[in-house]
Amino acid sequence: MTAQELRNAGYRVGLQVADADVTRAETLVMQNYINPITLGNSLSTLTVKNAVRQLVFIALCGDNTYATRSGGKQKMSPNLSERGYASQTDFETADFLLRQVQTLQGAVQGRLDGIVNDVLHIYFRSYLAMQ
C-alpha cells in the first residue's frame, strides 16, 4: 500500500508521508489485527483492504512524528489547532470493518478485543475487565 492509495481512497494523508511509513504501518496492522482474525490466510477481498486502510490511517495519525504531515492535524495557530489523533469515528469505523472481516469464510469468531493484539488501542479494556 502507498500513501497515494490512501489519498485516492479519501483519507487525509499529506504529500510528505513516505511510502515506507505507510508500509511500516501496514505491517503493524497485518501482524496485530488482520492475521489473527484470518489465521494468516490471504483473504484478498475488498473487505480486508478497507479494514487495512482504516487501520493504517489510525496508525499514521497515532504516530506523533507524522501527525501534522499526514494531515491528521490541521496547521493553525497553536491554541486553535485540531488534535493530531484519530477521531472516535475512525475507531468505530475500524471496529465495524474488522467485524466485516470476521464474516468472511474461515475467519476467527468471537470478541475482537480478545482476538487481536490491540496496539492501536481501538478497544477499551478497563483494568478490571482484563483477563
Are the CB atoms for 48 and 104 separated by under 8 Å? yes
CA torsion sign, 69 to 9 to 51 to 44?
negative
Amino acid 78: pLDDT: 47
Q: Which residues of 39-69 are buried (b: 16+ CB within 10 A; e: fewer)?
A: eeeebeeebbebbbbbbbbbbbbbbeebbeb
Amino acid 5: pLDDT: 94
Amino acid 87: pLDDT: 81
Amino acid 57: pLDDT: 93
Low-confidence ranges of the chain (pLDDT < 70): 64-85, 125-131
pTM attached to this predicted model:
0.79
